[in-house]
Structure 1
Amino acid sequence: MKQKIRANGLIAIDVFLVNISLVISYLLRFDLNYRNIPERFTEHLIKLALIATIVKLVTFASMRLYNSLWKYAGIYEVFMVVAASFISNSIMISYVFLSQVPVPRSIFLICILTDIALVTGVRFAYRVFRRIVKGEMIRFTNSKRVLIAGAGDAGAIIVKEMKSHPGLKSTPVAFVDDDVYKIGKKLSGVPVVGETKDISKIIQKLQIDEVIIAMPSASHKKINEIYASCSKTDCKVKILPSVSQLIDESVVMQKIRDVNIEDLLGREPVNLDIEEVGAYLKGQVVMVTGGGGSIGSELCRQIAGFSPKRLIILDNYENNAYDIQNELLYKYPDLKLDTVIANIREKQRMESIFRRFMPDVVFHAAAHKHVPLMESNPTEAIKNNVFGTMNVAECADKYGTKRFVLISTDKAVNPTNIMGATKRIAEMLIQSMNETSKTEFVAVRFGNVLGSNGSVIPLFKKQIEMGGPVTVTHPEITRFFMTIPEAVQLVLQAGAMAKGGEIFVLDMGEPVKISDLARNLIKLSGFEPDVDIKIVYTGLRPGEKLYEELLLSEEGLQATKNNKIYIAKPVHIDLAMLQRELDCLRDIMVTNSEGISEYIKLIVPTYKKVENGN
């Protein structure tokens, strides 16, 4: 009802405006003197005005000028007014030409300009009037003073939203941008006052309460630099995450969120060779062991997008497997999906699964990975990571799997703990089997993934929620980090490059100090490190290293066509000897569990058990 009243009001105003426009056009044509207008023109003026009014209102209505929300009017609405004015006046020129009515033909050319000026002028005057009456031009006393990093399309949208929605109680004060050409200019009425490197000074000078990073295509390094500068001040920092979220301008403010740790530690997007990956996954039966885990579930998500013939999720934990199964069935209703609950330690169960599904590609992500827990339970690590891997690998060989990809870890390099040593044995096992098998066995080795189950970040978040303290084992301890989707993309790409026997090493970037990570998480949670939330150093745990490595000393790196994937130089391993050693290990687990560590040193010469770190 309200909309109808407003539309009728606009129509009434337009009736008045198009007639005034016609009169003004005549006056402009005859030097602003009504007496200069010849009588032969004036005697047809009323009839002409009536026809022009009907033509223009019909044109305006057909161009939907009465359906726009003029309080949000912008360039599009102005364009529609221009188009409607041009079309309606062109119709009038045609009418005058065909009917031979005595009218100066230039009148309706002038009318185009006067119509545009009057029609748009009244509508934008309504916007100004509405702001004045409703107090939208008055800054709220409790309004946040906002600095926007990025004077581009995203920043312009944010300013528009803030100005159009006073309920947000946010006042855009200024922009910062690294394009020096923009500095000193204004965007949507807001000045660009400097570069991002000066952001901390600008925050203090302009008394900024909040910074919004509106640079959706910026690198993570750049975002990290901006956040580091902002963290020197007390102002809050938010971010507009990605270009894809700018498609719908009407909800752009809802997309702005707090900066998270992935924004700071994430890296540049992976350039995935879709064709190469699709070539070995599309139309194939693919199995993912540990498919309910952090890496395994993401593998399933990404593999499903490549249209496999069948996808098999194999996991020992039913809840995780159930969750990823439901997610994939909802997203890919045509996907042939089987969820199998099984333990990789049970050889007969593995045999029956492989016999039934005959997988073409296997991603082996099932493993025990918690270092301190495995130090306390070494036999469980060996059963799962060594003999479980052996069971799956032998089944892959026996039942004609084309490609087997082992998910390994940087902890397998010069291991100082049981978990790392068992993963190194798993690498040795698949490398030695590759020499005699038709299956292409490869391993992919990488560091920590952000947000994975049991990783340090969820632990820190829980400790912060509880009020602290946040526990770090050592002030100098460092780790490599990578996001789960990035790690999985690189695993899929490495799998596509596999020829058999390789250990692919992923470029993990620069190592991150865990103490810095803890401080950033505390700041991101709105607290001050060592003031609101304490950081306590507890000492290195048994088997824990100060830093991780990605290569053994005898391995060298060979580049691939992907600049984030390298191949470690293969090390010859005698399969028969390794199997004899593993048979002995199996016996020792039963008869002399205390001698496990010493025997593992014989299998993995680089293993050095560390009790208190080094």
Structure 2
Amino acid sequence: MSNRLDMKIDTNNRKDKTKYDGPEKPDAYMGNDKQWVFRALVLAFIDMCIIAISFFFALMIRFEFSYSHIPLSFLEGYLHIVPLFIVISLVVFYIFRLYHSIWRFASINEFMHIIGAFLVLTVVSVTIHEVYEIKMPYAFWIIGLMLSFALCTACRFAYRFIRTGQKMLEQRGSANGDEKVMIIGAGNAGRMLIRELIMSSHLHTKACCIIDDNPAKLGRFIDGVPIVGNRNDIPEMVEKYDITKIVYAVPSTSGKDRKDILNICKDTGCDVSVVPGIYQMVDGRVSVSNLRPVSIEDLLGRDPVVVDNDGIHSFLQGKVVMVTGGGGSIGSELCRQIAREDPKLLIIFDIYENNAYDIQQELKRKYPYVRVETLIGSVRNTNRLHYVFQTYHPEIIYHAAAHKHVPLMEE
């Protein structure tokens, strides 16, 4: 049993500072909305140009880049079909949320959205080809869709590629002044953390190496960062890469493995941080701002005990509570915490009068409004216990009477 009844991890009362529930949006939120709309409109305009140019080039490629050889009917078909196709494309792109993503974090998820959008547009192009009176060449549709897909994808990922290149050049130019970081864990959390370290222009840190216990990952790279060993290699790699900070990026693990790895990290003398649990990462991203120092719970080797304070209060309030061994180390702490819950009567029962007296006087000073009865006796004395029960009628008993030197008393 925990020696503190009021230990509790309060996840319900945390306030989300990024959320605003007022009747009107603050100016900062209004500005963010305007920025998003402006960027979405710019990206939509670029998409319109890409589609128009792609299908025109498709027509030019079909006729070997000879504009004069293109039949007039195909040019008219282009002028009638492409505007309609552009409108449909913008609607499809919006449905697939291609104007909602933060493209500097673009990854496989965003790429799959682009593929899904163009699969729908492929069906749309077949439908238009079948129902429209002017039959455009098959190459017009095939090449136009391929060019549109390539250019739309390149447009969206270009920012990330440019930022990554700039960050890598900056890191090479100022590598000596950067804080060198070791990442524990080559999973999704570690990968996202490395990506943010590379992309951020405000962080003067460099991911130098990765540690992972999976032998199949040894010698491989994540965004250019090598996986150099397992947990047993941490001290050696800290020295080899001159590491000053270690980040434990395996939020899904707990128990003995977590405790063992964190203890090894602490022994290196490096600053150690941990990525919070997945349930804390509401937006699905691992961020450097989410990192926190190692806490005692991380080193328990088990899940922390969560105590229901409200339930305990309602359980003890107005009750006659008896604590056997109430003057001992555990019993006295139980008495302190029970007294806070406003019992009807707190009975301190102990065989040793000095300890019982000490806790009695302490409770009288701290909780003068609580009725405390101090009784001396042994839990092995049946007659004494019968007297206590018949006189005070305790409703709840915390049995904390025990010998401390168990091996001696057993002998």
Bin for the TM-score computed over the shorter chain: 0.5 to 0.7
Structure 2 distance, partners of 1:84, 1:226, is 44
TM-score normalised to structure 2 length: 0.68
One-letter code aligned to 1:75: I
Offset at 1:222?
Answer: 2.5
Pick closer, same or farther for the CA change 1:367–1:36 going to 2, 3 Å: farther
> SS at the partner of 2:262?
helix
- After superposition, residues 152-163 of structure 1 pair within 5 angstroms as 152-163=187-198
Contact in 1 for aligned 2:258/2:301 (Cα 8 Å): no
> SS at the partner of 1:117?
helix
Offset at 1:130?
Answer: 4.6
Q: How many residues align?
A: 344
- After superposition, residues 391-410 of structure 1 pair within 5 angstroms as 394=389, 406=398, 408=400
Q: What's the counterpart of residue 213 of structure 2? A: 178
Pick closer, same or farther for the CA change 1:166–1:59 going to 2, 3 Å: same
Q: What's the counterpart of residue 148 of structure 1? A: 183
Structure 2 distance, partners of 1:25, 1:65, is 24
Contact in 2 for aligned 1:174/1:192 (Cα 8 Å): yes
Offset at 1:36?
Answer: 7.4
Pick closer, same or farther for the CA change 1:259–1:62 going to 2, 3 Å: closer
Contact in 2 for aligned 1:40/1:102 (Cα 8 Å): no
> SS at the partner of 2:346?
coil
1:249 to 284, 298, 303: 284
> SS at the partner of 1:406?
strand
Q: CA offsets per residue over residues 180-208 of structure 1, 9 Å max, x none?
A: 11112223443212111101111111111
Q: What's the counterpart of residue 238 of structure 1? A: 273
Pick closer, same or farther for the CA change 1:386–1:46 going to 2, 3 Å: farther
2:170 to 112, 130, 138: 138
Q: CA offsets per residue over residues 471-519 of structure 1, 9 Å max, x none?
A: xxxxxxxxxxxxxxxxxxxxxxxxxxxxxxxxxxxxxxxxxxxxxxxxx
- After superposition, residues 271-310 of structure 1 pair within 5 angstroms as 299-301=307-309, 303=311
Pick closer, same or farther for the CA change 1:269–1:7 going to 2, 3 Å: closer
Q: What's the counterpart of residue 166 of structure 1? A: 201
TM-score normalised to structure 1 length: 0.47
Offset at 1:131?
Answer: 5.5
Contact in 2 for aligned 1:17/1:119 (Cα 8 Å): yes
One-letter code aligned to 2:129: V
Structure 1 distance, partners of 2:163, 2:204, is 17
- After superposition, residues 209-608 of structure 1 pair within 5 angstroms as 209-250=244-285, 252-264=287-299, 266-269=300-303, 299-301=307-309, 303=311, 311-313=315-317, 339-345=341-347, 377=355, 379-380=357-358, 394=389, 406=398, 408=400, 412-413=402-403, 415-416=404-405, 553=410
Q: CA offsets per residue over residues 337-359 of structure 1, 9 Å max, x none?
A: xx5344413xxxxxxxxxxxxxx
1:66 to 86, 99, 106: 99
> SS at the partner of 1:158?
helix
> SS at the partner of 1:147?
strand
Structure 2 distance, partners of 1:385, 1:147, is 59
Pick closer, same or farther for the CA change 1:199–1:102 going to 2, 3 Å: same
One-letter code aligned to 1:394: F
Q: CA offsets per residue over residues 234-285 of structure 1, 9 Å max, x none?
A: 4211222434334433464344222233322x13349xxxxxxxxxxxxxxx
Structure 2 distance, partners of 1:322, 1:39, is 94
Contact in 2 for aligned 1:175/1:191 (Cα 8 Å): yes
Contact in 1 for aligned 2:185/2:211 (Cα 8 Å): yes
Structure 2 distance, partners of 1:321, 1:94, is 76
Pick closer, same or farther for the CA change 1:67–1:241 going to 2, 3 Å: closer
Q: CA offsets per residue over residues 411-454 of structure 1, 9 Å max, x none?
A: x24x35xxxxxxxxxxxxxxxxxxxxxxxxxxxxxxxxxxxxxx
**Unaligned ranges ≥5, structure 1:** 271-294, 324-338, 346-365, 369-373, 417-547, 554-605, 607-614
One-letter code aligned to 2:398: L
Contact in 2 for aligned 1:154/1:246 (Cα 8 Å): no
Pick closer, same or farther for the CA change 1:185–1:386 going to 2, 3 Å: farther
Offset at 1:35?
Answer: 7.5
Q: Percent identity?
A: 24
Offset at 1:367?
Answer: 8.4
Structure 2 distance, partners of 1:387, 1:107, is 99
Offset at 1:211?
Answer: 0.7
Offset at 1:39?
Answer: 5.8
Structure 2 distance, partners of 1:392, 1:103, is 103
Contact in 2 for aligned 1:237/1:259 (Cα 8 Å): yes
**Unaligned ranges ≥5, structure 2:** 1-33, 322-332, 361-372, 380-384
Q: Give me the CA root mean square deviation.
A: 4.3
Q: What's the counterpart of residue 88 of structure 2? A: 55
- After superposition, residues 3-152 of structure 1 pair within 5 angstroms as 3-26=36-59, 40-105=73-138, 107-130=140-163, 137-139=169-171, 140=174, 142-152=177-187
Give the number of the structure with larger relative contact order, counting CA–CA contacts within 8 Å between residues 6 or more apart: 2
> SS at the partner of 1:166?
coil
One-letter code aligned to 2:342: V
> SS at the partner of 2:315?
strand
Offset at 1:31?
Answer: 6.9
Offset at 1:147?
Answer: 0.8
